[in-house]
Amino acid sequence: MKAMLARFAGFGAVPMMSAVVPLLVLPIASRIDGAAGWAAIGTGQAIGSFVAMVASYGWNVNGGARVAQASDAVMQKEIYAQSFWSRIIAYAVAGTAGAILAAVLIGGEFGVVAALAALATGATGLTVAWYSVGVGRARVALWYEAIPTAAFTLLSSVAMLVTGSVAAYPTLMLAGIVGGLILLNLHLYRAVVPPLDPIALRAAFRSNFRLAVADGIGGSYTTAPVPIGQAVIGTTAAAQLTSADKVYRIGVTAIAVLANSLQKWVLEVSFVDGRMRRHVIALTLHAVLGVVGFMVLTLAGAPLTRLLLGDDVTPPAEVFPAYGVTFFIISMTTPLIRNVLVPAHGDRIVMIAIITSAIVGLPAMVIAGTTAGLLGIVSGLVLSEVIVLTFVSIAAIGVLRRERIPR
């Protein structure tokens, strides 16, 4: 029990810091340039979240397990080097396209702000959190990601007040992310970038292709509400959806804390030694978290958003229960994918589930958005997550039934 609590404390500190720091900065960012500037930040960050999923190239899903199962520290560093180069290439391509799209979609004086927000948020796909989980050392993510990013993000609040421009927020956030990556590379390899092995890099692109496609397509619907709101309804809708999305994603941090803390614990034993029991415990904890998140978003989402970000950019209260349902579903699908399907090489079913959800969900958001406004867009997001949960649950039950049979 003490070891588990220590694991929660260690791996919980990093995402919680990432969640708390924006609470100090977002109230300034949401007010300094009005609804138009806030919509530019939200649209850029939404597109950037998609860029981040493309840039992560599946390493957030299977990287931690691969590092945890590596035979020694040398192999762990080789795995990270492969991930770095595959992700930096994916980020360069997707980031450029995302920045251009954000600038064009927003246009006018805030186009550059939207592009910077897309680049900064996209860079989060280069996260070292999964590597930290794999090596079992939370301080890696703390010192080389959370602290540099938090420090520069806090600095941006001062810069925004001095310059009177929201552009300082994504600019300094990007600087913190890049600085942390450089520091980790210096620590691991005594170089600004890891050694490049072209053969290993090609193998990394091939082996992670399915997960990368699934992540990328998944990003197309999970990050779509704000850009769709901007395109279909207008700037005010985009600003309001940005606010709801921020509060929702702060809560989603708790899912990451729980998943990161439990993944190695669940997978470090075989089914003979009690993995099924650990699966049940993990799923139960995720269900409890999902219910709590649903209740908090439903009951306190609107008041909290109004207090934090202001009346002008707070959406109607009926939007938040839909985000609450989405929170619950993601809390349940996360352990099923990360702890059951991916270790069992179920990448294909994950990809099918996410592709199906995007094919159905994206048009649903657009159509419902034109007829039912903000609630219609978020309801399309819920529909997408329901599809993923259905596919993943059926496949995971099959895997667990097969694995529990002694061989």
Torsion angle in degrees (nearest 10) through CA of 192, 171, 64, 188: 20
Q: Which of 261, 260, 265 is nearest to 278 (CA)?
A: 265
Q: Do 19 and 155 fall within a single domain?
A: yes
The first and second tokens of residue 367, run together, are 């159509």
Q: Do 402 and 253 fall within a single domain?
A: yes
Q: What is the pLDDT averaged over residues 170-184?
A: 96
Q: Do 364 and 310 fall within a single domain?
A: yes
What is the rounded distance in angstroms from the CA atom of residue 340 to the CA atom of residue 399? Answer: 7
How many other C-beta atoms lie within 10 A of the C-beta of residue 162?
A: 9
What is the rounded distance in angstroms from the CA atom of residue 218 to the CA atom of residue 120? Answer: 20
- pLDDT of amino acid 10: 60
What is the rounded distance in angstroms from the CA atom of residue 187 to the CA atom of residue 193? Answer: 10
Q: Do 169 and 260 fall within a single domain?
A: no
The gap from C-alpha 332 to its chain's centroid, in whole angstroms, comes to 15
What is the rounded distance in angstroms from the CA atom of residue 303 to the CA atom of residue 300? Answer: 5
Q: Return mean pLDDT, the chain.
A: 89
What is the rounded distance in angstroms from the CA atom of residue 116 to the CA atom of residue 104? Answer: 13
Q: Do 38 and 159 fall within a single domain?
A: yes
| C-alpha dist (Å) from residue 241 to 27, 204, 245 | 15, 36, 6
Categorize the per-residue pLDDT at 120 as very low, low, confident or very high, splitting at 50, 70 and 90: very high
Q: Do 200 and 338 fall within a single domain?
A: no
**CB under 8 Å to 396, separation ≥6 — which residues?**
336, 340, 341, 346
DSSP state letter for 337: I
Which range of residues forms the domain containing residue 51? Answer: 1-207
Q: Do 203 and 246 fall within a single domain?
A: no
- pLDDT of amino acid 226: 87
Q: Do 394 and 315 fall within a single domain?
A: yes
Reported as a single tens digit per residue, the pLDDT across 263-318 is 878 888 877 778 899 999 999 999 999 999 999 999 999 999 999 898 888 999 99
Do residues 65 and 343 make contact, with C-beta atoms less than 8 angstroms apart? Answer: yes
State residue 136 phi and psi, 5-degree precision: 75, 25
- pLDDT of amino acid 221: 78
Asked if residue 256 belongs to a domain, the reply is: yes
Do residues 24 and 155 make contact, with C-beta atoms less than 8 angstroms apart? Answer: no
Q: Do 367 and 321 fall within a single domain?
A: yes
Structurally, the chain folds into a number of domains equal to 2
**CA-derived radius of gyration, the chain:** 20
| C-alpha dist (Å) from residue 307 to 36, 45, 77, 319 | 19, 22, 44, 17
Reported as a single tens digit per residue, the pLDDT across 29-78 is 988 988 889 989 989 998 998 999 999 999 987 888 789 888 899 999 99
Q: Do 24 and 132 fall within a single domain?
A: yes
Q: Do 117 and 259 fall within a single domain?
A: no
| Placement of tokens 């993995």 in the chain | 275
Looking at 207, 226, 254, the residue that finishes a domain is 207
Percentage of the chain lying above the pLDDT 90 cut? 59
Q: Do 119 and 57 fall within a single domain?
A: yes
* Secondary structure in 3-state letters for 74-118: HHHHHHHHHHHHHHHHHHHHHHHHHHHHHHHHHCHHHHHHHHHHH
Reported as a single tens digit per residue, the pLDDT across 193-250 is 999 999 999 999 998 988 888 778 777 778 889 889 988 888 888 889 989 998 998 8
